[in-house]
Amino acid sequence: MTSVRRHAALAAAVDQLRAAGVASPEHDAAELLAHVHGLERRDLFRIDTVGDDLAARFDTLIERRAAREPLQHLTGAAFFRHVELAVGPGVFVPRPETELLAGWAIEHARAVGDGAGRAPVVIDLCTGSGAIAKSVADEVDGAEVHAVELDESAHGWAERNLAGTGVDLRHGDMGTAFDDLAGTVDVVVCNPPYIPLEAWESVAVEARDHDPHLALFSGDDGLDAIRVLAARAALLLRPGGVVGAEHADVQGESAPGVFAATGRWVEIVDHRDLAGRPRFTTARLAR
């Protein structure tokens, strides 16, 4: 590809991505063109033409995106609430929907600090890239934030993202982590795996082929990890502490049902995302 006008380069890229079934071809093409120029997408208006070298880089990235490699793997970054995260192969790319769950955790952590006059203690189980833990540390002054990740590769990404934040990151299983904090935690938050194994074919190619399967699938009904969470959070939380967990949009009744079945939780509420779909469940540990 030789030097071309910006509009022509974008138009050709959008056509290629749309033909490949990419869900947001205009957005992704613009993000990748901005990326090769070292610009924010909003600053693309500064470019009139795309030079030969950058055009070749852009073509390569568009081909990879058309092959359904995640956009964030191509740029190396994902944005989540007010923080930037390094991401790539081997870690689950945080989704915008999860920002609502993080916001819930932040709100409740702040309420502890305001009401109890002490630093809130927050645990992020299945932290993945560290998105929720980093957001809590960023937005809740003085919060004591802990996080755990089992997958070795994902843990490496979390180490990178949480460096310098003060978050206590551990490498381990959500079902056995933080025995030393039992009964002292105010907020437990978790974006667990929740896709049923039988739903393999319905998973978006970007996730199915590039996200760690440990972060996606959770037993025949998709609820195995949430069952572990309900038991673990009951051990970790103070009486009256709260837990929040993301789930699939078809689990708006079954995920809350996991907590209800234990008899240990009150104020069990399911929350919808901005598209009106069931997205996460919260509950309070009975006193």
Mean local confidence (pLDDT), 47-69: 91
Q: Residue 70 is encoded by which pair of tokens?
A: 């995640």
Question: Which CATH number belongs to the domain containing residue 125 in this structure?
Answer: 3.40.50.150
The first and second tokens of residue 203, run together, are 């998973």
H or E element in which residue 256 lies: helix 254-262
| Res 32 pLDDT > 60 | yes
d(CA 53, CA 38): 14
What pLDDT score was predicted for residue 202? 57
Separation in Å, CA 155 to CA 163, 180, 214: 12, 20, 12
CA distance 265 to 233: 10
Residue 229 has pLDDT above 70, yes or no: yes
Q: Say yes or no to pLDDT of 271 above 90.
A: yes
Q: Per residue in 211-228, pLDDT tens?
A: 665 555 555 677 989 999
Beta strand spans in 91-229 (E): 121-125, 144-149, 168-171, 185-190
Phi, psi (degrees; rounded to nearest 5) at 7: -60, -40
Specify the range with the lowest mean pLDDT, choosing from 9-13, 32-36, 66-70, 256-260.
66-70
Q: What is the CA radius of gyration of the chain?
A: 21
Residue 54's pLDDT is 92
Residues 271, 152 within the same domain: yes
pLDDT at 210: 55
Among 67, 87, 119, give the residue marking a domain's end.
67
Q: Are residues 140 and 240 in the same domain?
A: yes
What pLDDT, on a 0 to 100 scale, did the predictor assign at position 250?
A: 85
Cβ 214 vs Cβ 90: under 8 Å? no
Do 186 and 211 belong to one domain? Answer: yes
Using an 8 Å Cβ cutoff, are 57 and 8 in contact?
Answer: no
- Euclidean distance between CA atoms 18 and 11, whole angstroms: 11
- 69-83, 134-148, 158-172, 207-221: range with lowest mean pLDDT: 207-221
- Which of the residue ranges 193-197, 230-234, 248-252 would you say has the lowest mean pLDDT? 193-197
264 falls within a domain: yes
pLDDT of 1 higher than 50: no
Residue 273 lies in a domain: yes
Torsion angle, alpha carbons of 165, 171, 176, 182, to 10: -20
Indicate whether 73 belongs to any domain.
no
pTM for this structure? 0.86
Decide if 73 contacts 46 (C-beta within 8 A).
Answer: no
State the average pLDDT over residues 161-168: 98
The pLDDT of residue 249 is 87
Quote the Cα angle for 172-84-57, to 5°.
110
Angle at 64 between CA 62 and CA 70, to 5 degrees: 100
Q: Which residue has the higher pLDDT, 251 or 148?
A: 148
Per-position DSSP letters for 135-169, written without gaps between them: HHHHHSTT-EEEEEE-SHHHHHHHHHHHTTS--EE
Domain count, the chain: 2
Residue 88 belongs to domain spanning: 79-285
pLDDT at 80: 97
Residues 26 and 152 reside in one and the same domain: no
Q: Is the pLDDT of residue 194 over 80?
A: no
* C-alpha torsion angle, residues 151, 208, 35, 63 (rounded to 10): 140
